[in-house]
A and B are shown apart, each in its own frame.
Chain A
Amino acid sequence: MENNKRKVGWAHCWIILLVVLAVFADLIANDRPLIACVNGELHFPVLSTYSDGFTDQPTHQKQIYNWYEQTTDWAVWPPVPYDGSSPDLRNANYRSPSEVQQTGTFARHLLGTDRLGRDVLASLIHGTRVALLVGFGSVLLSLLIGVPLGGAAGFFGNTGLRFSRASCWATAAGISLGLPYAIVCLLPYFDITNLSAQGFACVVAISVIGGGIYLLLNQFRKFRVDVSFPLDGIVLQILELFVNVPGAVFLIAVVAFIEDASLTTVIVVVGILGWTAVARFLRAEMLRVRSLPYIEAAYGGNISSWRILFVHALPNAIGPLLVIAGFMMGSAILLEAFLSFLGIGIPNDLPTWGSLLRRAREQPSAWWLAVFPGVMLTATILAILRIGERKG
């Protein structure tokens, strides 16, 4: 027992360290000082990169682009005074960590440099941010799609959900007519280019057309009858269709097809490919949960079934779901490394663990490029597996 606790502690510490590295990457590794005093004037170069986004007014201070050349009265540099993407030509051509380096008064390149003199340690720290971004982002998207579909499918089954026939038909017609109409006619006519405005226009078109058809159909008695909605059947059919999609191969294909693929593309595709795992798992879990006595009791208490699903049933499945989400995050991080190792889809100048490994292939004798990113990747995967195993 004691033993187990210690091991869990190791894995948790590593994940927390990664999150800290990812969030504060700019403060830990940067090519500009945190605080610097130039000619008696205080500068906050790292922070000012953030504030530039918020304020439009030009600062009265003159912009300094190369802080290494700048003579300062005094300066507080980040622990790693490099940012991983800007080259350091004096230390170019694969300097090993133990070799003589010409860094002057600055800290050594602790883990060596690559061909252009980019610092490996700083690349690792900024790569953590990319890895976690892809991991969290894609899993969040998978959960957003998978939890409602899988949860509702398992909880309601084929008979639990009942709507009037009119509303079933109206919803179907609203989506299948309203969405194309909005895309084909409304968007070009009103010249809507903003993404959220486009979404809003689509929703408006769907609800107007759906609502109209509902009012029309509701006039007939035949359409006011309640029918059960085969949600489980529909979700299962979709899952069966998705089973045969070869995930990673398809991902490469999609990323290759899209012209200027960015990190967002990768996150979206990985997230969409991952929803089936969530839905499948949650559906099975809900099949178990819905027959538990307290759910029956809740039905007896006259609580609406949607409320039971979201307030009582879903929280019961959160523990195991988190384990699945952890595993999925691990494989998303692996996929990101996989893509940037191949050099497909992830922008080339972005420092990531996978792109460091790719550079290692260009120069086999630069072992530090191959070893350190791999250690980060392995430790992350092992930590996730360890936490999942203890909980699951």
Chain B
Amino acid sequence: MYALRRLLYLPFSLVLLSLLCFVLSSYVPLDPVASSLPSADSRLSSQDPETYDRIYRRAATRLGYDKPPFYVSISNAALPDTLHRITRPTERKMLRALTLDAGNWEKVAEYYRVLKAVAFTDVNSTSSHDEQATLLARRLLLQDDPEVIRESIDGLRSRGRAHHLTTAHTDIYQNQQRQRLLWPVVRWHGTGNQYHRWLSNIFAGDFGISYLDQQPVIDKIKRAVPNTLLLNALALFIIFALSIPLGLYLARRVGTRRESWITGGLFILYGVPSFWVATLLATFFTTPAYGMDFFPSMGLGSVPVDASWWETVSVRGGHLILPVLCLSYPALAYVSRHLRQSGTQELSMPYVRTARMKGLSERKILWGHVFRNASFPLVTLFGNIIPGMLAGSVLIERIFNIPGMGQLLYVSAVGGDWPVIIMLVMINGLLTALGLLVADLTYAAIDPRVELNRPSLTQVNNR
């Protein structure tokens, strides 16, 4: 039952996450339509603005950017419900600012029509002040401060084409209707909106096109995921393979000098930031600068196509040793310390004394009885480790230059490539949620005392 409820939460969380990303993506400085145009077309923007505008609008319609952003919109009555049809973000901003300043959309739309007509005439073939008006109009299409617009229009000599512009502009302010701003309007746009389109594309398996290199996002992610999974799976394996014996060993020898040294060492290991260690290792052991060039440098290495499996393993292994080491040691220290603590606690329990009285060997007591009871926290730790490891692999992949999801996230974040970022955030969210779910379910499976219908209170410190 509990699993079912958690599973029900999952889509809600993901939708919330996708909404958050979607809202954030509208703040991206990059213009998605412009970056989708071939570079030959973008060069037109200064030479032949009219043709460029037409190409731009066609591209925007194809990509669905002429649709309203969301199912509902709330605005004031002064703003029209068709503002989203203006596809250029800068022009939309300009019209919005003017409408909010004066309140009458009709006159602003008229001004916009005149402005475009003036801006899109050919510069060379006309007289000098017409040319001046055209150049100004092109600048005004990008200007969203009403104060500046007014000043530059006032500075224009009202002759020829400039006359149309000045009359259109004064018309806006002579027929101000600012009171319309006070009336709120809620508009329902139906399913023909950008968010719906984006979401249904995802369900159809189309994750969009990367802005940076025009490749399908899904291909990029498909290439990156196996590397990250390999890295994290190896690290997880090492964590549990080493920390369980180590933790139990420490628990049995609590109070001895060797135990206190190892525990102290684990404490320090846990506190040392792994990206620093990774930087140091990468600096000292993969570059010839210090004469200790023991490991192959960056990347995953290249494996020839017809290589034997042993060759593949040795090449990949050589490249993976340091990254896996850096990724696993903080969690290794964390888990061992936890296991030491719970193991110590269990060893003082009456049932251990009973087992000893029965004549069981220490090994049997430790592995047959104590281990099972002491390992309950391990399962919750497993759920807590996963988000941390995914975050850690961003840095580790960056430092060792491994082409995984972390590296992809970094490259996309620097380039503002939001279709990729959004999908990576969603995939990470999904993996985090699955990790937590598996941890909870396993916990219930191995410890019958646990009642899952009470929400867990243990996930306090999920570092």
Contacts and interface: CB of A to CB of B under 8 A. Distances in A.
Contacts of B100: 188
B273 A255 contact: no
Contacts of B25: 257
18 contacts: A180-B74, A184-B76, A185-B184, A245-B17, A249-B425, A249-B428, A250-B428, A257-B25, A258-B24, A280-B459, A338-B395, A342-B394, A342-B398, A357-B275, A373-B276, A374-B272, A374-B277, A382-B271
B397 to A, nearest CB: 11
Contacts of B268: 382
A253 B280 CA distance: 27
A357 B394 contact: no
Nearest to A188: B100
Interface string A332-359: 0010011001111000000000000100
A341 B406 CA distance: 14
Interface string B13-43: 1101100010011011100000000000000
B433 interface: yes
B421 A280 contact: no
Counting chain B residues whose Cβ lies within 8 A of the other chain, the interface size class is: 35 or more
Most-contacted residue by chain B among A184, A249, A357, A374 (CB, 10 A): A249
Given A189-B182, A245-B17, A341-B395, A370 B280 contact: yes
A236 interface: yes
A258 B74 CA distance: 23
A245 B429 contact: yes
A344 B410 CA distance: 9
A361 interface: yes
Contacts of B429: 244-246, 250
Interface stretch (B56-64, B216-224, B347-355, B411-419): B411-419
A378 B181 contact: no
A283 to B, nearest CB: 8
A357 B275 CA distance: 9
A27 B270 CA distance: 34
A360 interface: yes
Contacts of A161: none
B271 A253 contact: no
B305 interface: no
Interface in B275-293: 275-277, 279-280, 282-284, 287, 289-290
A370 B275 CA distance: 11
B275 A244 contact: no
Nearest to A249: B428
Contacts of B410: 252, 342, 344
Nearest to A256: B413
A364 B410 CA distance: 21
Given A180-B74, A236-B455, A241-B12, A378 B184 contact: no
A210 B433 CA distance: 38
B89 to A, nearest CB: 13
A189 B99 CA distance: 11
A280 B460 contact: yes
Given A188-B100, A243-B433, A382-B271, A254 B390 contact: no
B68 interface: no
Contacts of B462: 277
A259 B29 CA distance: 6
Contacts of A158: none
A331 interface: yes
A385 interface: yes
B271 A378 contact: yes
Contacts of B422: 253
A248 B388 CA distance: 8
A349 B12 CA distance: 40
Nearest to B283: A364
B336 to A, nearest CB: 15
Interface in B83-97: none
A246 B27 contact: no
Contacts of A281: 460
B409 interface: yes
A35 interface: no
Contacts of A283: 457
Q: Top 9 A-B pairs ranked by shortest CB distance? A: A248-B391, A256-B413, A374-B276, A246-B428, A382-B271, A244-B13, A365-B289, A244-B433, A257-B24
A256 B249 CA distance: 45
A343 B387 CA distance: 21
B282 to A, nearest CB: 8
Given A338-B275, A357-B279, A360-B279, A257 B184 contact: no
Contacts of B425: 246, 249-250, 253
B21 A240 contact: no
Interface in B258-308: 267-268, 270-273, 275-277, 279-280, 282-284, 287, 289-290
A361 B399 contact: yes
A37 to B, nearest CB: 44
Contacts of B460: 277, 280-281, 284, 324
B369 to A, nearest CB: 28
B461 interface: yes
Interface in A221-250: 236, 240-250
Contacts of B416: 256-257
Contacts of A341: 275, 395
Given A244-B10, A342-B395, A385-B271, A256 B457 contact: no
Interface string B172-195: 000000100111100000000000
A381 interface: yes
A188 B421 contact: no
Contacts of A247: 387, 391
Interface string A93-121: 00000000000000000000000000000
Given A246-B429, A249-B391, A184 B273 contact: no
A212 to B, nearest CB: 16
B413 A253 contact: yes
A371 B391 CA distance: 23
Given A249-B409, A364-B283, A244 B17 contact: yes
A241 B9 contact: yes
A299 interface: no
A169 interface: no
B75 interface: yes
Contacts of B276: 357, 370, 373-374, 377-378
Contact of B181 (A185, A257, A342, A360): A185
A45 B170 CA distance: 53
Nearest to A331: B463
A188 B181 contact: yes
B373 interface: no
B236 to A, nearest CB: 17
A124 to B, nearest CB: 14
A371 to B, nearest CB: 7
